[in-house]
Structure formats: C-alpha cells, structure tokens
A and B are shown apart, each in its own frame.
Chain A
Amino acid sequence: MGVQSASVDRQRPRRRTDRVAATGAILALAGCVALPLYALRANRIVNGTPLSLGAGGPAAWMLLALAIAAATASFSLAGKLRARVELACAVGMMGALLWALGFAAAHLAPDVTSPARVSIGAGAWVAVAGAAVVWFAAVHARPGRAWRVGALVALVVVVVAAAMWGGLGRLSIVLEYAVQGAAFWSAVWTHIALAGTSLGFAVAIGVPLGVASSRIPWVRTAVLSIVGVMQTVPSLALLGLLVVPLAALGLPGIGPLPAIIALTVYALLPIVRNTYVGLTQVDPSVVDAGRGMGMSRWQLLTRVEAPLAMPLLLEGVRAAAVMIIGIAAVVAFIGNGTLGVLVILGWGGQVDDLTLLGAVPMVLIAVAADVGLRAAGRLVTSPGIRMEVS
C-alpha cells in the first residue's frame, strides 16, 4: 500500500503536461500560422508584403510539423523520452526555419542583380522564440548530457549548412551585410573598443573610489550620491550636457572624447558601489585576525579584503560592461562609428534590415560580454568563497 502510493506520487509529476514546452510549441505554431514568416520587398526600402507559409518550401511544412510534434510530445509523453523528443523538435524547428527562410530568399529573389529582397518576418522571430522556449524546457527536464551537447552541435551543423547550401546568403539582412562589409566590421570593432576603453577607465577610477568610500564616510556619501545622480541622467542628455564644458575647454563636443567620458561615467556606479559593498561586507573578525597577525593595511587590503570582495566587484564590472555596450550604441548619434550607426542609418533610410544588422550583433556582443564576464568571475574567485552571484 505504502509502496504503491509512493510510486504513484513519483509518477504524477512526470505525467503532467510540460506546460513550458507546450507554451513554446504553441508560440512557434502561432509564428508559422498567424504571422508572416517572411516578407518580400520589391527593393530594399519599400515595405514588405507578407508571404504565405508555403513560400519556404518543404522546410516550412517541416517547421509546422515539428511545432505540432513538440506540442503533442509536451502533452502526451513523459520523463526523459519527452525531454529528448522536445529537444530534437526544438533543434529541428530552428533548422527548418533557417532552411525555409533560405528557400524563400533563393526562390523569390534568385538573381543577384534583382532588387527584390526577402526579409525575416515577425512570425520568424516568434517561431525562434517558441523553439528556444521548447529547448529551454527540454534541457530543464534532464534529457541527459549527451543530448544537451548533441543538440548544440546539431544546431551549429544546421546553421552552417543552411548558410552554405540553404540560400541564407540571399536573405535581405545578409545582403545588407554584404553591402556594408568592411563598414560593418569597423562598426563592431569601434563598438567594442569604445566600450572596452571606457570600462578600463571606469575600473581604474571606480575601484579606488570604492576603496576610499569603504574607508572614509564622507567620501562614500559624496561619491555614491554624485555617481548615483549621473546614472539617472539619460545617456543622450549627458552627451548633450557635455557639449558646454567641453567647448569651454576647447575640446570637441562630438566624437570619441565625449563618448568615452559618458560611458565611463555610466560604468562608474556599479563598479564603485560593488567595490564598496564588497569591501564593507567582509567579516570584521577576518580583518581583525589579519591585523592581529601583523598584516599591514596594504597587505590586509590586497591579501584578504580584495580577494573577498572580488566576486561582487566582478559582478559590478559585468553589469557595467553590459550597460555601456548598450550606451555605446547611443554615442553613434554624436559621430562615433559604433553599431548604433547602422541602426540610425536604417531608421533614417527606412531600411529595416540595416537596422537589424546593427541591432542583432549588438545584442550578441552584450550577451557574450555577460556570459564571458560571469565565467571570468567564477574563474578568479577562490573556491572557498564561490557564491551564488546571480
């Protein structure tokens, strides 16, 4: 009796519908059916006309089938099997979507010389989001390590294959890239260089300010409130406000100088605050022990307090980096060739795909910085204090 009821209890949660995956599958389905996956433009500037699902060829129907399969699996299967089926469907959906996009592009704008363009439609974004949700749900349902890694490898293979043979090269955003070419990469590097330089300055200024704040009360009050107010000022407004003092100093109000100043200022708050909090949350008894054993103030700071404050400090650097990668897009308005320039040109010329060509890499850079700095943070944090930095 007891054994029976226990086994029922154990099975019940597995039998339940995977509501997260179901939501993702339905989202993907809606992307296919209710919204256009792709739009055809007579040339790069005019608004697109939505294309029917079938324009994507067999891959489009496969996408639809996989979305239905994922939904069915989330309702009817259970356990590891369900997780694996869902994962396979998610990878399949992403692959099928790319092939469908490529197919549509290759067939409707086949000629390199033709001005016609096939753009990514709203439905495609929704379908990708849906597939990602299914993937997320599947991975959290423990399909096993081999499956998780396998799915990633499969996705990479599918993307590469779609790019090489699936006609993705004819997609409008890729054509925009082809047109921009060197300008695109220079925008990427300018973006990274501006954000990186400012982050360097912010660390060089912010960490000492944070240390000083943790030692001297009036410095803390002054620094934290000034930096806090600066933080609330809109980035575009700060750039505008810099015009007058810079002009008074005979310096240009546009270009990299005001950009670096503004980015540094924005990066300061998380760095100063986290340095300060990191240092003040060090257990006083640890500091007392260090002092009592004959450490000088400098040794105490470098050998005890700094390593203990490091996880929080790095979290601050991460937050600052992500923030200023975003603001580095805004400084394009004052004559810096960051990825923001592509966005602005896209807005100005109503070329949506040019806007995307600026926005998508920007997101990728920000996410990469986020992931990379989190990993770096874990790497340099002593295993003795590795904590849950969210």
Chain B
Amino acid sequence: MIRLEEVTKRYGETLAVDRLSLEVGEGEVCVLIGPSGCGKTTTLRMINRLIEPTSGRIMVGDRDITSVTPEELRRGLGYAIQSVGLFPHLTVAENIVTVPKLLGWEASRMQARVGELLSLVGLDATSYRGKYPRELSGGEAQRVGVARALAADPPVLLMDEPFGAVDPLNRERLQGEFARIQKELHKTVVFVTHDVDEAIRLADRIALMRDGRLQQYDTPENLLDHPASKFVHDFMGADRALKRLGRVRVDAVMRSEVPRISDGSDAVAAAQRAACTAERFSYLVDQDGRLEGWIDCRLLDRGGSAESAITHVDWRATTVRPDTSLKEALSHMLELGFRSIAVTDETGRLLGDVALAGIETTLTEGDAYSAGGPAEGGAQ
C-alpha cells in the first residue's frame, strides 16, 4: 500500500533520513520508532509531502505521491499529531468535517459522518458535537483528533505520536480503543512513537530507526526475540519477556470452563454444594451470568462459616476483558494479590478466568524464543 524506495532527506550536511526503503502492506499498522532525531517524524511527513524528500520515491497505492498536488494527496491521507492541532475557533463537529468540507461533501452527509465518528471514538455525539476544543480534556481532544483524521474515510492514516501528550492511564485506554477501531476499519497506518510498549502493543510491524537509517523492520515478536543488532536488543529493553505479554490477549490463554454457581436466593446452600468440587474457588454469578463474587471452598472444608467464605465484589474493579493484554492482566493480579483473575464481557458476564500459571507458560515460551537471541545479555 505504501512503499518507500531509497528515500533520503538531507538538511545541509546532516542526513535526516538515509536511503530508507520500507513497504507497508494494506491494512497493516507500521510503527516507526527510534530515539529522538532518528528521522521517524521526517519519514512520516515525507509520506504526505509536508517535507519533500531529497531523493528517492514514495508510492501510495500504485501512485507516485509526486504525481498529484500535495493538497490532493493529503486529503486522501488521514493525519493525526501529538499536539492534536484542533482548530480552536471551530466546534468539534466543524473540526471533524474539515477534510470532507475541502472535498465538497454535502452538508447532510457530513452531519451523519460526525455522528458516526464520534460514537466510533467513544464520545457522545449529541453532547460533544457543539463543544469547542478548549472545553475538551486532553484525552477527549485526542479522540476528536483521531475522528478528524478518519473523517473522509482515507485508506491510509498517518499518526505522529497521537497519544504522546496524554497521561499514562488515558494513553492505555486510547491505545486499546485504537486497536479496536483498527480491527474494525483495517486502515493502512503509519504510526510514529518513541514508546516501545505502545509500538509492541499496536504494531503489525515495527520499523526501528537510528540516525536516519532503518535498523530492523519486522514483527514485534521477531524484534523482541531475534534482534538484528545490539542496538535493537538494547532499544527493545531488558524486559522483553514481559513486553511480549503486551502482545498476547487474555482470551488466548483464558480458561472458559470455570466452576460457577448460579443462584439468586440462597448463596449459602450454593456454597455448600460447591464445596464438593475440586477447585479451591468457585465463582458466584447471578441469573444473567453476571459476576457477583466467589466462594473460598477450602475455608468451607475447614468448617468456616458460609458467610466468611463468600466474597462479594464489584466486577468492574476486579476483572479484565478478553481483549485486555496479558501484561495488563498480570499487573491487575499483582495489584490485587490474586493468583487468578476473572474475565468478563462489557456487561460483567463471566466468560472465564486467567491464572498466573497460564501466564507463566506464555512467559516460558518467550524465554525459549529469546534463548536464540544474541548472547550479550546483561544489557540494561
């Protein structure tokens, strides 16, 4: 979909980008990463001709990007940046339809599109439509920025650290939503970041750059497990095994056959019935299958009272979703002090659970892979 051929950008004596060749397949997320000044942003900005390359050729689709005017090219490429750059004098709706307006869409079509996009990025269309950027929080502004980039449904999205200015909590959430949206829309995305975790989580392929040169271009797994050089190894960090967990979703290792007791009225009787199963814990769900808590069967066996054996919980605080990364699930477990954690859907219905042991298996597999990596361990 996007192909860079021997692209070079020179500023006077300094080479910002040095004979870079790169191909991004249709529907792929390519993350450009590297230390600051490595040329990743320059590369991104050459794709929509905000910067003209000194030499080389860039193709988008089957077209050389120099065959059309920069304006026409850019209207076909979604663009989202770290500082968002929402137009402060325009409402959220007017911001979103910037490109459709340039393309001359009809008003009714633009109106409908605003509604679609706002709900896509998880904002309430009616209440956000008429707001001005200064009334938005950082995270909300960032969502509107993404909606604006998607407005004319461009096949390609260029994103320059789009979540860079948001606090870590919101950033995690925005990444999750981006992954969800991408699964739905299958855009071809070029994404610049300096955050390795973000790259690993979102990328189909990562292009690691340094001093304008491409160091390695591969899947996150291969970058972690088969780094091409010491630089790649060091850049990806020492906790590679842990990082791998960021790529694995909970549903990949989830156990769905879990002991569950569905009883609305008499929890104690239910607990006694549960005592005979082999598991230590049994989940307690309501009639709709929504998680209400769990029963410690061992405590019952030892003659503890039924009341003391039952723990009631709010599912929102103590469970994970199937699309949560294992890394996040592990962090939740460590925080809560659990050896396993329940998995529910958005409404709290119990789907299964993930045990520490299951995660350990994944980790061991990772270790086995990385044994093939370079021997110079001990890197930070």
A and B touch in the complex (CB under 8 A): yes
Could you list which residues of chain A lie within 8 angstroms of chain B, going by C-beta atoms?
A: 283, 285-296, 299, 304, 307-308, 382-385
Residue of B nearest to A287 (CB): B85
A-B complex: 7 closest residue pairs judged by Cβ atoms: A289-B85, A384-B132, A294-B74, A294-B75, A285-B83, A382-B89, A292-B79
Q: Could you list 28 A-B pairs, sorted by A, with CB under 8 Å? A: A285-B82, A285-B84, A286-B85, A287-B85, A288-B85, A289-B79, A289-B81, A289-B84, A289-B85, A289-B87, A289-B145, A291-B50, A292-B48, A292-B81, A292-B85, A293-B75, A293-B79, A293-B148, A294-B70, A294-B72, A294-B73, A294-B102, A295-B102, A304-B87, A382-B89, A382-B90, A382-B132, A384-B134
Among B72, B75, B84, B98, the one with the most A-chain Cβ atoms within 10 Å of its Cβ is B98
Known interface pairs A304-B87, A384-B133; A288-B50 also in contact (CB < 8 Å): yes
Q: Is the CB of B216 closer than 8 A to any CB of chain A?
A: no
Q: Closest Cβ of chain B: how far from A303's Cβ, in Å?
A: 8
CB of A348, distance to nearest CB on chain B (Å): 52
The answer to whether B114 has its CB under 8 Å from any CB of chain A is no
- Asked whether A293 lies within 8 Å of B86 as measured between CB atoms, the reply is no
Name 12 extra pairs, CB < 8 A, besides A291-B50, A293-B102, A384-B91.
A283-B83, A285-B81, A286-B86, A286-B87, A290-B98, A292-B48, A292-B74, A294-B102, A295-B102, A308-B87, A382-B132, A383-B132
- Chain B residues lying within 8 Å of A295, measured Cβ to Cβ, are 71, 98, 102
Q: Which residue of A lies closest to B102 (CB)?
A: A294
Docked-complex contact B88 and A293, CB < 8 angstroms: no
> From DSSP, what is the main secondary structure of chain A's interface residues?
helix
Contacts A285-B83, A292-B50, A293-B102 given; does A385 touch B88 at CB 8 Å: yes
Query: Known contacts A285-B83, A288-B81, A384-B133: does B89 contact A293 (CB below 8 Å)?
Result: no
Q: Is there a chain A Cβ closer than 8 Å to B99's Cβ?
A: yes
Q: Is the CB of A384 within 8 A of B89?
A: yes
What is the CA–CA distance of A361 and B81 in the complex, to the nearest angstrom?
Answer: 54
Residues of the B chain whose Cβ atoms lie less than 8 Å from the Cβ of A304? 87
Q: How far is the CA of A195 from the CA of B84 in the complex (A)?
A: 43
Q: Give chain A residues whose Cβ lies under 8 Å from the Cβ of B73.
A: 294
* CB pair A299 B84 closer than 8 Å: no
On chain A, the residues within 8 Å of B74 by CB distance are: 291-294
Residues of B within 8 A of A296 (CB): 71
User: Which of B72, B89, B133 has most chain A Cβ within 10 Å?
Assistant: B89
Bound CA span A333–B276, Å: 111
Query: Bound complex: CA of A286 vs CA of B134, how far in Å?
Result: 13
Q: In the complex, A294 Cα to B74 Cα: how many Å?
A: 5
Q: By CB atoms of chain B within 10 A, which of A283, A289, A307 has the most? A: A289
Question: Closest residue of chain B to A299, judged by CB?
Answer: B102
Give the chain B neighbours of A385 by CB distance below 8 A: 88-89, 132, 134
State in angstroms the CA–CA spacing of A304 and B90 once bound together.
9
The closest CB in chain A to the CB of B82 belongs to A285
Residues of chain B within 8 A (CB-CB) of A383 are 132
Report how far A299 CA is from B98 CA in the complex, Å. 11
What is the bound-complex CA distance between A293 and B84, given in angstroms? 12
Most A CB contacts (10 A, CB to CB) among B70, B83, B87, B91 go to: B87
- On chain A, the residues within 8 Å of B76 by CB distance are 294
Question: Of A285, A294, A307, which one neighbours B89 at CB under 8 angstroms?
Answer: A307
B314 to nearest A CB, angstroms? 37
Chain A: which residue is nearest B44 at the CB level?
A: A292
B79 and chain A: residue at smallest CB distance: A292
Give residues 339-358 of B contacting A (CB, 8 Å). Answer: none
